[in-house]
A and B are shown apart, each in its own frame.
Chain A
Amino acid sequence: MAAQGMPDLSNAIVAQDEMGRPFIIVRDQGKKQRKHGIEATKSHILAARSVASIVKTSLGPRGLDKILISQDGDITITNDGATILTQMDLDNQIAKLLVELSRSQDDEIGDGTTGVVVLASALLDQALELIEKGIHPIKIANGFDEACKIAIDQLDKVADVVPIEDESYLLKAAKTSLGSKIVSKSHDHFSQMAVDAVMAVADLERKDVDFELIKIEKKVGGSIEDSLLIKGVLLDKDFSHPQMPKQVKDCKIAILTCPFEPPKPKTKHKLDISTVEEFKLLQEYETKKFQEMIDLVKQSEANVVACQWGFDDEANHLLLSNGLNAIRWIGGSELELLAIATNGRIVPRFEDLSPEKLGSAGIVRELEFGTTRDRMLVIEDCSNSKAVTCFIRGSNEMITAEGVRALHDSLCVVRNLIRDNRVVYGGGAAELTCSLAVSEAADKQKGIDQYAFRAFASALDTIPMTLAENSGLDPIETLSHLKSKQVNENSSRLGVDCLGKGTNDMKELFVIDPYIGKRQQLLLATQLTRMILKINDVIISGKDEY
């Protein structure tokens, strides 16, 4: 916050009692800061503008990335609006609201996190001009709400329904979301991966996609193109004994949450050995226990043991000598995924093991990487194909991390289409047609709303303008050209030709966005604008003295 300088008594809230003596209601000393009225609103709008100006250049297929250096000096290089915003070291509360905004877009939709911030800041910018004209912030906010409804009606009108059975549309949508990311290098590969992954787990009847079933793993090495989709589970583990075979076929997997160790009661207890007989008995008991465990596993006809816990050395060797391959220390969520993928049951006690509780998979094999001892286990050809792992490779940590984020975005896009198969056209086409609809409606409004409507329309124009700017085109010329073209040709599919392909028809260029993503952007941005416009007083309490 800008320093307020010396204590300013004029900002203190002071009342006088009947004797005329002043007493202070809100103490306002140097440590307490207060902003009020138009000044507060203006400063908020400026803060929002600063935030948007950072992420603005990431928008679109020719947008650029940001390097974020954390407190500990770790680097993130990303193009994803939500990631940029959450990792910035922000102090300003309004800026933090924008972070929340992009996060909620991320949670709901998973894509369009940059766009929503740019739109919100454009709305606020427009509001600032109206405020300077003397229009009351609440009236502006009301007007924006009305305009937003019209924009969404227009979106409804222009949205095209695509058959999700036709994978090519899903691919195109995934491609649009990946266009701005570094993985655009292997564009087709990644979009195919996203579509395959989602289609593998999607429940088309319920129109739902369970993301729990899609695991994303990353490992440095190779290059982005080497990323692959594994129809099965990938575990960052190796077999528990170095001499176990590196590959098992036709696996029956026992999934255990009990350790290969003598059982221990959950209650606190103490076992005292006071005689030689007891000591001997215990020894026998111990050996017997291990043998029992192995026997139980054997009886169930399992040939692979996946265990959440560790094994005793003896148990490990017994497993080996009984020809059982074993994996130990598997994390809880991975174990669940394994159980889902192989149609197995998680078994908490050896006694509960039975053949029908085993999971089955075609093959379990060990992957080796490079010259270090990195190994991973792949479990493929599972009986339930509804669990997949996306395995991202890349030449450095930053690129693999960004690959994971990018893939997540495109997974979300594909999922959104499965939920709601309406699409709108990208490249700013959807915003433009909304903007046209809103400005047309503007002239029919009475009173102040007319101004708010026009402002809303110009705010919508910011998206195509930013796209044009990021692509090195003249924003104003592009915008006016496109607007006139949309009106004259009565086509809502015309957008900014970011990649210089020579056409503005987004349908031809296959730049499509899910309808619900766009709708959410408009709604969230308008809501946030209202919230910020409504604030007229900020009091920052000073830090306690210590």
Chain B
Amino acid sequence: MLKSKTFVKKTRAGGVLKIVREHYLRDDIWCGSEVCKECKDEAPVLQEDACIESNLCAYPHYLIPDTNVVLHQIDILEDPIIRNVIILQTVMQEVRHRSAPIYKRIKDAIHEKEKHFYAFTNEHHRETFIEREQGESANDRNDRAIRVAAKWYTDHLAKETNGGSLKVVLLTDDRANKEKAEQHGLIVYRCEEYIKSLIGNPELVDRLALQSDERNEITGSKLLFPEHLPLSRIQSGIKNRVFLQGTFHASRDNYLEGTVYINREGEDINEVLLQGLQNLNRAVNQDVVAVELFPKERWVAPSSVVLQDDSPNDEDAEEDETEKKLKSEPLESSILKPTGRVVGIIKRNWRPYCGMLSQSIIKEATRHLFTPADRRIPRIRIETRQAANLVGQRIMVAIDGWPKNSRYPNGHFVKNLGTAGDKETETEVLLLEHDVPHQPFSQAVLSFLPKMPWSITEEDVKVRADLRHLCVCSVDPPGCTDIDDALHCRDLPNGNLEVGVHIADVSHFIRPGNALDQEAASRGTTVYLCGKRIDMVPELLSSNLCSLRSNVERLAFSCIWEMNHNAEIIKTHFTKSIINSKASLTYAEAQMRIDDTTMNDDITKSLRGLNKLAKILKGQRIEKGALTLSSPEVRFHMDSETHDPIDLQTKELKETNSMVEEFMLLANISVAQKIYDDFSECALLRKHPSPPPSNYDILIKAAKSRDFSIHTDSAKALADSLNDATIKNFPYFNTLLRILATRCMMQAVYFCSGMDSDFHHYGLASPIYTHFTSPIRRYSDIIVHRLLAVAINADSTYPDLMDKHKQSALCNNLNYRHKMAQYAQRASVAFHTQLFFKNKGIINEEGFILFVRKNAIIILIPKFGLEGTVFFENKDKPSPHLSFDSEGPTLKVEEHTFHIFDKVKVTISLDASNIQHQRIRMALTEPVIPGVSVPAPESEPEAKKPKLDR
């Protein structure tokens, strides 16, 4: 049956269009219930005995939620307890229109077999389709469609079960809708009412989202915030340049301050400072907001005060005083920044937040404040009756809304992640907070894995170079299971050397566009945490089929050079190949073979050849101005049983490390050149921009304090002056300088060659660079493999590979994932460091001053690669006399002057006073400054450390 749907639409140009769509109605849409005999559904989704214990409905029933219930209570619907739900097409369409993430979640729920969610296409069903009537708004029409569908189900099921007990229950929070549904004889409840009636699942109630319209309006009618402007006003305001649109970034250190980054081109102001709760006006980190600029007289400078929102109670007053603190800053007109206020929110970017509950002082209260782990997120008020159970637990909370008369946003409990401080929980938290996708791979993804047992086929042998006879070996850190590179070196009859780098051929297994490829592209990188690895590709590939383990035949992508003994490349050759690695060595093992003069087998000879060439290559590279930088990296020795860190040491670099690195760099550069030559518009490359000169200020000042001058005009000059800066009886000085130099650098990024013109890699002093050598753990390398395979006619191309805009979008995701992975890694190290010190108690260590600040010094402990801050200002105690000289920079505390690079002694301990933000605390023991330093622990080992407040 054919109907037509007619509607009028306004076009962007301002015209009005009448649009007519054909709409077909069918009579073969089944109800999806197991009970039904009439419908010829082959695999009914809805169960016959749909039992859930409820006070209100003692009979088996199916639920039909309306749009608002799905939108607001998706957390509830996702709970495994809630099953046998009919999701109407009307609801789906409305949800899709209003929130893409929730649409995705409800779709996922429908796909999950155990949930028994059934999507009923009522809009195309002959008996449930309704046309919009005169005078009916779109919403009313949809509500009516939902009621009609619910009514149809009621009648249909009653007929099928001969008046049996199976019923449908409509869930709606709309009062008018509920009344009308009751008039039609439907069973209808409010969502809250229904969830509260469920027996034995009280925790679900906490996950109910608060409804802002009803009595849940917390606190009086006092308006704390100015009203947000409606979207239409905001849009016209932005068009007329009265308002600016940008992304809001809350300050990490000061909850009353934030910055909006304006992302419009041609705008001379690209940052707007916001100060004070009123001006922040309920913006939450990452929201897209509209801001209005203040006139110049009201511009202020960002305050340097650290403020944490830690008032214990839920009071909405008492803010004025703190805000005053902000204002009393001395004003220098040069540091004033454009200041403004938020007038409206264009798009909320809320996600569920991890954090902890701060229990209300009143014991029986059900309203509590939740403190997110991320300091940039305001505290959230939630309602729960299980507060006592949640204290000390890491929980997840979603924001529902932020009414203008509430100091804090309102939210609801989503899930409990586990005990705070627990290793599993904390890892989960840091993965969630850094947006690292870490769910197990879905069935769809796994279905694209090769079937086991897998072996190399005849066809593979035909199209690939057979390099199985070569003496290939791999060198990796101990315990590495995802080996993606192997090397060989042999003498050629003409006296030259043949060097080969063999990289796991991941792109053979991951074909473009399938679910496996999409998942890998979205993950972007494997994330290595302490004692845990979050794979980019399923384990079968990462640790088995792609991993170039010894004595198995593996597919590889080889880059083979012919070199003379001065490491000059005579010929470069790329080929897909089959290899059989003869040995998987660790760096230490390889080093031992090279050093042991008694060993003379093929592998050792090969390694020696490689090592020799690598040294020459490195020399050449450094000659060109490549930087050798340093950052203190630590490695934990884990207890094999408990996986607790038992020892901690900085990573040691052996010659073999740099040997492997050298050939990887060479392969990457060779490949980068090749793919750029062949695809100048769409090659995926990596660049490292040279830092702006101002970045080096701190390094130059620091070196000057020891009478060295650092030249930063070029990478070469910088490398040379770093090499020259050594002090005889202070060997660590040079490392410290290099650590500082590392901090001055820019972030290296992926980009698409067609979208950029500056390809230079500053740190490696190479005009072009890419990533080719780790396809198991980086998606960028997979793309590079595909490009190279096309370039050598070993594989076919596909449209997305040649589309520079798609390529560029991919690069953005990869850059984001890499950054987040790095942060997650650091957070994991920090957490394990805390665990380590928790077990150790208080330790006395030697360290160096890395930075001098106005009220603190930052100290690096070389032994642990640990950085910590010693503050000289206390909240409760009178501060010692401080005088800061920004030229040195030096800080004079009482009588003692601290210089950068000074050697000090500190005690290290774990400060667990705030479970959420545990931190390593350092206290000065040497030099001794009365009133500031603490006695060394040896002098009174058993005495409990007096709590030293910051």
A binds B: no
Binding site for B on A (CB under 8 A): none
Binding site for A on B (CB under 8 A): none
